[in-house]
Structure 1
Amino acid sequence: MVMSDLAPILAEPVAELPVAGAYAFETKWDGFRCLLHRADDGTMRLQSRRGASLTTAFSDIAEAAERDFPEDIILDGEVVIWHDGRLDFGRLQRRLNRKAATVRRELAQSPAHYVAFDLLRRAGEDLTGLSYERRRKHLEVLFAEWSLAPPWTLCPMTRDRQEAMRWMRQWAAAGIEGVVVKNLRQPYKPGVRGWSKVRTRHTTEAIIGAVTGTVDRPGSVLLARLDERQRMRFVGRSTPLTDELSRSVKAQVSPAAADHPWRSRVFSAGWGSRETLHVTLVAPELVAEVSGDTAVDAGRWRHPVRVLRLRSDLAPPDVPLFGTGNGPSAG
């Protein structure tokens, strides 16, 4: 197995957990997917889902691996950072493409952990052709034999659907995004969407501060919440509106006044994208009920949320403050 040619197996989004079949359920972490392996020169390397090196950014994990792993291995897992009792994706990003001094400061302030959920090679033996069930057993044996402790974590796994559903309810507040479903009999298929994932979602409210497109034909909405000082904070964008919701938004929004707080603001088309959106500001008076997942950074939903309905019965002061309630938190 050549590491440079190895792409991690992927997960296909699905609406719900399967009700029948031989499956394992694992927690879905809000972190960076990461393959960890020992290079030809004996050093440990970390590789992202797309093949980029994460070794410098997470040198604390690489150094721990060189210390703790006496054999040649390839692990598949997730690099995460805990902060204030929950997973903090923003602190992971702070380590990328930064100066050495910045990375060293982050290493000291926010140490990373590695959550292992698959073992692809050990002591020169390629394990990718084995079933998930057998690979999981090898991984559990490795943790036991090497007495692995933090920064190493063995990903929780259950075969009980009800238990997995409890995880989604109970651990969402800590930043667990949902559950990954894995067929017990399936081998590891690099680059293929061979697993599935179900995201934990919450229903909550936000204020519509702008629309994409025009007021006559709104395509999606940009959402806001007020903070404790009554400043309007951007919290996310919706998925495309249904035709019915688009017509309802058109009928209920009002033109923005000259003092709209987003008057000079530019919005990007997506997380990390430099492409800008064409938006039309509207009076921040209409409230929407939305369904969003638990991936939140610096108070914003990382992924577009779905508008369920408009709440003309609510006013902006009725919406949870920025940093509280279900959905975006100050992080």
Structure 2
Amino acid sequence: MAVVLRPPVAPMLAQAAETIPVPPRSGPGLGYEYKFDGHRLLVFTPDRPGGRVLLQTRRGALVQDAFPDLVTAAAQLPDGLVLDGEVLAWDLEAGALSFEGLQRRAAARARNAPALAARLPALYVAFDILMADGTELLTLPYVERRRRLEVLFAARALTSPWTLCPMTTDTATAREWLESWTDVPGLEGIVAKPMGAPYLTGRRGWTKIKRRDTSEAIVGAITGTLTHPQLLVLGRHDTDGRLRTVGRTTTLRPEQARQVAGHLAPAGPGHPWEGVQFAASWGSRDVLDVTLVRPDAVAEISADRAVDHGGVWRHPVRFKRLRVDMGPGDVPGFGEASRPRRP
């Protein structure tokens, strides 16, 4: 008897790496896909008469009420299907993908969801197929699942909001994607997948490589003490000359902390961040216990491509070194975090 998948299904995950893995000399090799800056979403079409379209997040929550446009568009899909992919949001006014808009879509209640969908329509990028015709496909190798996914898109002539994630088996093309295509907003890297591997629910059997760029920001606050800083809170000046928060670093290594400590000075009266609270992480309600410092030290940092509108890094950045040759006036302005320089 066929096994029917129903939520919750733990999606297969990826482990982070710094470089693109090279395929083995023997065997089916690797496939490389775009890594989009969206939310993981599994799509379940009805497997029996009267069933509903279900949309499941990475953590198992059902969110079909928040995405009525995807539910309606699922009429293009056959019954008994489960897709794995990323949901994105397109800001019609800005004419671009919007992660902030996606956050609003994901948090929407049923009564507000249609209005948001009209302004921020959802797009779905499919990269795997877990069930077809009511039969689960988890044990099939990725190369076969990918073939079936491509057949589905071709046979159904699927159009927006359904998009087939680009894939290549050529390592040189994958490098080009990582270096060049990640300049496009909404793309942050690539994912490498063993072509011969089954779909391992809840396991980290894939590899993700995010593009990282080097840029500079002003040190405006720290955690820890002036002699033993733990992490740095970073800022940039906006067009009005105000120091705006753009992110925080990961925890400093001991040698980095010693380097930074020699260039920190306590904040004087009128520091622009007096009374400001800083979230411990993006979207968190926890608050960092910070010490304000004189905002004249410049940090060189390495950051990924996940940047909010206005130029705030969502993920902690990596401290590389202090730029003692630069002053605050040499740092890119607020809103330019999305256009850092290459390493």
TM over 0.5: yes
Report how far residue 182 of structure 1 moved: 0.2
Tell me the amino acid that sits aligned with residue 127 of structure 1: L
Single out whichever of 249-258 and 22-31 deviates more from structure 2. Answer: 249-258
Under a length normalisation based on structure 2, what TM-score does the superposition of the two structures give? Answer: 0.92
Partner of 2:23: 20
Partner of 2:85: 77
Are the structure 2 counterparts of residues 305 and 325 from structure 1 closer, same or farther at C-alpha, using a change threshold of 3 Å? Answer: closer
Partner of 1:114: 124
Under a length normalisation based on structure 1, what TM-score does the superposition of the two structures give? Answer: 0.95
Partner of 2:9: 6
**Correspondences of 1:129-148 after superposition (within 5 Å):** 129-148=139-158
CA offsets, 1:69-94, max 9 Å, x none?
A: 13210000000123446432111111
Are the structure 2 counterparts of residues 265 and 211 from structure 1 closer, same or farther at C-alpha, using a change threshold of 3 Å? Answer: same
Q: Give the one of 270, 275, 283 matched to 2:281.
A: 270
Report how far residue 220 of structure 1 moved: 0.6
Report how far residue 5 of structure 1 moved: 4.1
Contact 2:66 2:109 in 1 (8 A): no
Tell me the amino acid that sits aligned with residue 35 of structure 1: L
Q: Secondary structure at the match of 2:193?
A: strand
- Can you give the 5+ residue segments of structure 1 that lack an aligned partner in the other structure? none
| Percent identity of equivalent pairs | 46
Asked if 1:323 corresponds to 2:332, the answer is: no
- Can you give the 5+ residue segments of structure 2 that lack an aligned partner in the other structure? none
Partner of 1:259: 270
Report how far residue 99 of structure 1 moved: 4.1
Partner of 2:230: 219
CA offsets, 1:149-195, max 9 Å, x none?
A: 11110000001111111111222222211000100000000000111
Count the aligned residue pairs: 327
- For 1:184 and 1:42, how far apart are their aligned partners in 2? 33
**Correspondences of 1:48-67 after superposition (within 5 Å):** 48-65=57-74, 67=75
- For 2:72 and 2:270, how far apart are their aligned partners in 1? 53
Partner of 1:200: 211
Tell me the amino acid that sits aligned with residue 136 of structure 1: R
Q: Secondary structure at the match of 1:118?
A: strand
CA offsets, 1:269-320, max 9 Å, x none?
A: 1122221111100011110110000011232111110011100111111111
Q: Secondary structure at the match of 2:107?
A: coil
Contact 2:228 2:257 in 1 (8 A): yes
Q: Give the one of 160, 172, 181 matched to 1:162.
A: 172
- For 1:98 and 1:13, how far apart are their aligned partners in 2? 30
- For 2:146 and 2:119, how far apart are their aligned partners in 1? 33
Q: Give the one of 44, 66, 80 matched to 2:53.
A: 44
Partner of 2:133: 123
Partner of 2:304: 293
Tell me the amino acid that sits aligned with residue 58 of structure 2: R
Cα RMSD for the two superposed structures: 1.5
- For 2:21 and 2:108, how far apart are their aligned partners in 1? 42
Single out whichever of 19-28 and 101-110 deviates more from structure 2. Answer: 101-110
